Each structure stands twice: as C-alpha cells, then as structure tokens.
Structure 1
Amino acid sequence: MAAFCLSHASRRLRIPPFSYSLARSLFDPSSLASLTDPKCSVPHCKPPVHLRTLEPKYRLIDDFRFTYSKYDRCNLNISIATISTSSGMAKGTNSGLDGGSKVEQSWIDLYLPQAVQPYARLARLDKPIGTWLLAWPCMWSITLAASPGSLPDIKMLSLFGCGALLLRGAGCTVNDLLDHDIDSKVERTKLRPVASGLLTPFQGLSFLGCQLLLGLGILLQLNNYSRVLGASSLLLVFSYPLMKRLTFWPQAYLGLTFNWGALLGWAAVKGDLDPTVVLPLYVSGVFWTLVYDTIYAHQDKEDDLKVGVKSTALRFGDLTKNWVSGFGIICINSLAISGFNADIGVHFLLLLWTGWPFYPFLMAAAGQLAWQIWAVDLSNRADCNRKFVSNKWFGAIIFTGILFGKMTS
C-alpha cells in the first residue's frame, strides 16, 4: 500500500514530458512559432484557437505573463493573461493584432490622459512636420515685411505659429472626417482615430468646432484686411480633401491652401498686399509643396490605385523626378524674384555688401531641395517620408536667409 501511494505521488510530482518545450516556447520567442503552429508535433495536443490564429508577424512578443491553467496527458490549455508590447499602444487603440498597422509610441502616449489621446492624434500633434510646412511661408512673409535693419515682429511670429498649429490640426480633422472611408482601406492611415472607430464623426465634428473657435480668436487679433483674407482661406481648407477624388493634381491644391500664409503674413504687418513681393513668394510656396507632397504621395501609390484616389505620384509615375525638378527650379527662381523686389538682394547685384546673405542661403536651400529629389527612393516608403520631413530644414534655411538679408539691408 505504501509503495502504491509513493508511486502515485511521484507520478503527480513528475515533470510532464511536454514541459520543457512549453518553457522553451515561453522564454524563447524564436520557438513561439512552434507552440502556435496548428500542426503540433505532440500527439493529441493542439494549442487553443486564439493562439493558432495569430499571424506570424505578431508571434514574437516582447514581454508577457501567462497562466498555466490545466494540463493532462492528452490536452493542453494555455491562457495568456496579459500581453504588453514595447510599441506603447494605449488601451482602446488598435493593437495591430488584427492585421492592422501598429500605432507608434509618441509623447502623446506618455504624457496625455487616455481620453485626450485620440483627439491629439486627430490633430496630428505627434507629427509636427505639417505645422512647420504651414508655418514657414508665414514666417517668410512676416520677415520680408519687416523694416530694413530690423527684426521681424515677434508678436506676429508667435500668433502665426499658434495659428499654423490650430489650422493644420483643423485641416487634418476635416480630412479625416471626409476621408474616413478611404483611410480605412489604406495601410498607412487605417489606424487614424475616425477611420478606426476610436472617435465617432460627431466627436470629430465637435473637436473641429473647438479648433476653429480657437483659430478665430487668433484671427481677431489681426487687422481687418487680414481678417477677411484669413477667413477666405477656409474655403480652400474645407474643399482640399475632395480634390483627390476629382483630379490628379490635389498636391497643387494643397499648395494653394498651405501657402496662404505667404499672403496673410505680409498683410498682417503692412495692412495691404504688395503683389511684386507676395505673389512670387506665394508661387514659390505652391511649387515647393508640389515637390514635397508628390514625394510624400509615393508612399500610398499602391493603396491609392486600389481605392481609386488620384495624386501627382500616380500622374507622373516614372517621370516624377523630372517633374519635381522643374517644380524645384520654379520655386527657387520665384524666391529670388521675391527677395529682389523686397530689396534684400538688389544691393548684392550691385556688388555692395548690404543684403548679400540672402543669396548664399537661397543657394543652400536649392542644394537641399536638389538632394531630396536626387537621393529619394520613390519605391521606398520610409525614404519618401524621410525626404518629406527634411523640408522643415528647407523652410528654416530660407527664413534665415531672409532674416539676415533684412538685417543687413
């Protein structure tokens, strides 16, 4: 009897024959695939359905805890209690386990309350490049309008900086509300708050109202001429998202929208417009936008073809670099004309020292633009995005050239 009890106890304490492979799977990510393989090599043992259906690209999990709920000779039940990945995805966001793209971790996940995070993503606060691209033409114009030998109006620079942040966010909200059906079919945009269902259209519309009210508060601090001119840009902001359905040139329409600050900045300082200065500046901004947004559009060209969305990337195809090279040349020449008419380059042409810094900076900006066009790999999404983001430096170089040109005029 004692022998029988001892034998029974030893069988209960004996390590199951599958425990080594289980432990190895749980602590060695490279072997997790074998655990989740539907064709399990252990007789009569198959993993539960929720593990078997995981896609291969999500089998490598950075950090997890598990509960080992039940084991017998012919059945293995494993339940995963908690899975926390290093992607920093907050609760309530799409984790990517359904086959979607992962939401990259940003300062929004670290510092903002969970309830606010979808709205911050809707306004693209985690991607400031759009704000920079909207703000630079405003800064160029305000600096050109400054008196010779003087710094630009700091108050105006601050107001337009805040305005660019708000207007860009409002534009993104409008875009996401109108395009949520398209965004849900595009890999890069399928996790946007409205497209993924984190926010309802009504919530997005309410948020848009708040953004426009704040923008109105900034606009009311400008002169009457600027208020009318600024309000007229809303027509472009609201109609831009529709252009990709109607024409292969939505990037040109975006250029008209994004560079309205080239007109508005001068008007806010001077109270009127000088066409000889602001029109070439506006044209340069439009063609600059055609360069960077065509490069940006190459990220989505495959998805755009599937859903029927149009872009200059699809229009130009293999001739894209030829087209954007021409746009870049027009951009630089228009900037030179604007600087000349604003008297920050004429003295250089007369071989006098005053006003000379503008042209070396303009040449440096031309080099940066040429580098983008020459070096970009249009078949590589990541490289297209890197070249697109680098345009903040193009804007900074032009601003510095105008600033030094004005200070030495």
Structure 2
Amino acid sequence: MASDVSPGLAPVAPPADATGNWVDRHAPAWARPYLRLSRADRPIGSWLLLIPCLWSTALAVRIAGTGWSAWALALLVLFALGAVAMRGAGCTWNDILDRDIDGRVERTRWRPIPSGQVSTKQAFAFLALQGLVGLAVLAVLPRFAQITAVASLGVVAVYPLMKRIIWIPQLVLGLAFSWGALMGAPALTQTLPAAFLLLYAGTVLWVVGYDTIYAHQDREDDAIVGVKSSARLFAGATRLWLVPIYGAAVALMGAGLWQAGAGPFGWGGLALFAAHLAQQIARLDIDNPALCLSLFRSNRDAGLLLFVALAADAALAGVG
C-alpha cells in the first residue's frame, strides 16, 4: 500500500486565499483540508453534477403534466444535497487513488493528501462520512430511484483509474457525472422513459466536451506523468473535435425533448444552450489555461439556462 504522503516530497502548504474562496476566508483551520479534499472551495463540480438532475426533474414534470408539485420541488433540494455529498465523496476517492500522481503535478501537489495535511486513513473516514450523507438522501427516494442511483456507483468507483487506461477518460467521467439525467423520472413517476436515456446520452457528450477543455490546463503535466486525457489525444485539433461532440450532445438532448413533448420554452432553452456551446468552441485557446478554466466554468450558466427554460416549460404544461 502506498504511503499517506507522496514519497520524496516535503509537505506543501496550499496558497493562502489564492482564489478568495469561502473556505480560506471563513472555515475553521481544522476543517479547511477536508473541505478542500471535497472541493467545497470549488463548487463548480457540484453544480455540474446537479444540473442533469435538474434537467431530468423538469422533464419528468413536463411529461407528468402535473406542474411543480411539492414533491417535485422537494426533489430539487434532495438532489442538491446529494450532488454536494457525492461530488465531495468522488473527489475524495479520486484523491486517495491519485495521491502519488497529484504529488508530481504542479497544480495538484498542494492537495490535502499529497501535501500531508490529511492522511489516507483520515481521507477514508471522511469518504465514509460523505457516503452516509448520500445514503440519507437516497433513503428518502422511491425504491426505483434508489436502484437507479445505486447502479451508478460502479462507474463512479472506476473513473479515477481510467486516466491510466484509456485515452478518453472523460467518457467515463461523463457516464458518472451525467447520471442525474436518469434520476428525475424514477424519483417522480417511478418510470424511465426513452426521453431520459436520450437526455443522458447527450449529457455524457456534453461532459466529454467541457472536461476536455478543462483538461488542457494539465496537458503538459499529464504528459510528464503519463496520464491519458482527451486533451492530449485531440491536442491542437480540439476545436475540430468539439464541433461533433457538442453537436451530437445537443442533437441527443433535442431528441429527448421531442420524446417528452417539450414546448416552445424547452426548445428555446436548448437553442440558447447550443449557442453557448458554440461560443465556447469559437473562443477556445488551448494554450491559455485561464481561458480554458473560464470556459469550463461557464457550463454552469449554460446548464442553468436550459433548466430555467425546461422548468418554465413544465410549469406551463401543468397549467394547460
């Protein structure tokens, strides 16, 4: 078993309030390493995990035609709690498996485990605690939704290993991060219509696209340590690859909306979402890490824009 701290590296202190995040400003000193381990200082991942849940809930409300009931609104809260807990657990698991690799990459060597702020045993304990929070959320959902959610755990568990095996580990990340697109209907109507399978497939490709942009920040370091990624595979042709990836994502989502009988608001939201993705492709400069990070983060806004449109569409269907 590997040691708790990457061999040959002295503990590395994280940059003090480098990003002005709430963890560095307000969290107690003892809690900061654990909050960083769960990426609470960078909530974008929780947003991107939650957004497919929001989409599928709105689509389920649209299909049911009942409007935004108390249970449908409660699902949004439950999915938000679950997204935060499970994203934190996923990051913790990733850091446990990658602790030696992280210690050799400039951007990640200050993470709590390779820097010596948290031991591997402490990380496992924290992982279990976050898992219990996720389990509490799961216990409130209907049985079919519970089964659907549990089915994702295998993909979540193997994702951190994929960067050592396949050239597009972002595809496996997409399978895991998009699972929320399958959750709305099981939680609301205890069914899983084809519309949600199409939404899921489109969301997987959306994740592949935006995480490829994100991965360009680490392209050189990944090459040094031998980590595979779509950013390394696509390299200078990334913009060309993103066109069919994002294009297929929008097409599959559109097929899902068509199956669900989406109205004008839903289609308008998808058009704005597609325009946002096109703008990302047009602006992309893979040699500008700051821009890559900004474009990656902008997917939260694109996803929320589509959710608002789908939510309005569902509300109107309920009134009708």
TM-score of the two chains, using structure 2 as the length reference: 0.91
2:264 corresponds, among 356, 375, 378, to 356
The Cα offsets for residues 172-196 of structure 1, whole Å up to 9 and x where unpaired, read as: 0000000011111111111100111
Aligned length: 303
1:391 corresponds, among 295, 299, 316, to 299
Q: Does 1:194 align with 2:102?
A: no
Structure with bigger strand share is 1
Q: Does 1:117 align with 2:25?
A: no
Instruction: Provide the C-alpha distance between the structure 1 equivalents of 2:119 and 2:42, rounded to a whole number of angstroms.
Output: 22
Q: Does 1:309 align with 2:227?
A: yes
Does the 8 Å contact 1:135/1:261 carry over to 2?
A: yes
Instruction: Provide the C-alpha distance between the structure 2 equivalents of 1:243 and 1:194, rounded to a whole number of angstroms.
Output: 20
The runs of 5 or more residues in structure 2 that have no matched partner are 1-10
Give the stretch that moved more between structures: 118-127 or 262-271.
Answer: 262-271
Compute the displacement of 1:93 (Å). Answer: 6.5
Does the 8 Å contact 2:14/2:110 carry over to 1?
A: no
Does the 8 Å contact 1:324/1:373 carry over to 2?
A: yes
The Cα offsets for residues 213-234 of structure 1, whole Å up to 9 and x where unpaired, read as: 1110110111111112211211
Partner residue, 1:218:
137
Amino acid aligned to 1:137: P
Does the 8 Å contact 2:12/2:109 carry over to 1?
A: no
Q: Cα–Cα, structure 1 residues 102 and 396, in superposed 2: closer, same or farther, change >3 Å? A: closer
The Cα offsets for residues 105-135 of structure 1, whole Å up to 9 and x where unpaired, read as: 4211222111111000000011111001000
Compute the displacement of 1:268 (Å). Answer: 0.8
Instruction: Provide the C-alpha distance between the structure 2 equivalents of 1:239 and 1:376, rounded to a whole number of angstroms.
Output: 30
Partner residue, 2:4:
none
Does the 8 Å contact 1:325/1:373 carry over to 2?
A: yes
The Cα offsets for residues 19-39 of structure 1, whole Å up to 9 and x where unpaired, read as: xxxxxxxxxxxxxxxxxxxxx
Partner residue, 2:23:
108
Q: Does 1:377 align with 2:285?
A: yes
**Which structure carries more relative contact order (alpha carbon 8 Å, separation 6+)?**
2
Percent identity of the aligned residues?
Answer: 40
Q: CA RMSD in A?
A: 1.6
Does the 8 Å contact 1:259/1:282 carry over to 2?
A: yes
The Cα offsets for residues 237-262 of structure 1, whole Å up to 9 and x where unpaired, read as: 11100000000010000000001111
Compute the displacement of 1:366 (Å). Answer: 0.8
Amino acid aligned to 1:396: L
* Residue pairs, 1:5-16, within 5 angstroms: none
Partner residue, 1:249:
168
1:177 corresponds, among 96, 110, 120, to 96
Amino acid aligned to 1:151: W
Give the stretch that moved more between structures: 384-393 or 147-156.
Answer: 147-156
Q: Cα–Cα, structure 1 residues 366 and 94, in superposed 2: closer, same or farther, change >3 Å? A: same
Compute the displacement of 1:286 (Å). Answer: 0.3
Q: Cα–Cα, structure 1 residues 357 and 124, in superposed 2: closer, same or farther, change >3 Å? A: same
Amino acid aligned to 1:261: G
Instruction: Provide the C-alpha distance between the structure 2 equivalents of 1:262 and 1:105, rounded to a whole number of angstroms.
Output: 32
Does the 8 Å contact 1:266/1:273 carry over to 2?
A: yes
- What SS does structure 1 have at the residue aligned with 2:191? coil
- What SS does structure 1 have at the residue aligned with 2:109? coil
Amino acid aligned to 1:150: G
Q: Does 1:290 align with 2:208?
A: yes
- What SS does structure 2 have at the residue aligned with 1:189? coil
Compute the displacement of 1:149 (Å). Answer: 6.0
Partner residue, 1:268:
187
Amino acid aligned to 2:51: W
Specify the structure having the higher radius of gyration (Cα): 1
Instruction: Provide the C-alpha distance between the structure 2 equivalents of 1:264 and 1:358, rounded to a whole number of angstroms.
Output: 19
- What SS does structure 1 have at the residue aligned with 2:108? coil
Amino acid aligned to 1:379: D
Compute the displacement of 1:148 (Å). Answer: 2.4
Amino acid aligned to 2:29: Q
Instruction: Provide the C-alpha distance between the structure 2 equivalents of 1:93 and 1:297, rounded to a whole number of angstroms.
Output: 23
The Cα offsets for residues 332-353 of structure 1, whole Å up to 9 and x where unpaired, read as: 1111111111111xxxxxxxxx
Instruction: Provide the C-alpha distance between the structure 2 equivalents of 1:95 and 1:256, rounded to a whole number of angstroms.
Output: 31
Q: Does 1:148 align with 2:65?
A: yes
Amino acid aligned to 1:368: H
Instruction: Provide the C-alpha distance between the structure 2 equivalents of 1:366 and 1:228, rounded to a whole number of angstroms.
Output: 32
Instruction: Provide the C-alpha distance between the structure 1 equivalents of 2:175 and 2:198, rounded to a whole number of angstroms.
Output: 13
TM-score of the two chains, using structure 1 as the length reference: 0.72
- What SS does structure 2 have at the residue aligned with 1:134? helix
Instruction: Provide the C-alpha distance between the structure 1 equivalents of 2:309 and 2:25, rounded to a whole number of angstroms.
Output: 37
Amino acid aligned to 1:148: G
Does the 8 Å contact 1:183/1:195 carry over to 2?
A: yes
Compute the displacement of 1:407 (Å). Answer: 2.4
The Cα offsets for residues 269-288 of structure 1, whole Å up to 9 and x where unpaired, read as: 111211x2111100111010
Amino acid aligned to 1:316: F
Does the 8 Å contact 2:35/2:41 carry over to 1?
A: yes
1:259 corresponds, among 167, 170, 178, to 178
Does the 8 Å contact 1:103/1:191 carry over to 2?
A: no
Instruction: Provide the C-alpha distance between the structure 1 equivalents of 2:12 and 2:185, rounded to a whole number of angstroms.
Output: 43
Instruction: Provide the C-alpha distance between the structure 2 equivalents of 1:195 and 1:265, rounded to a whole number of angstroms.
Output: 38
Partner residue, 2:7:
none
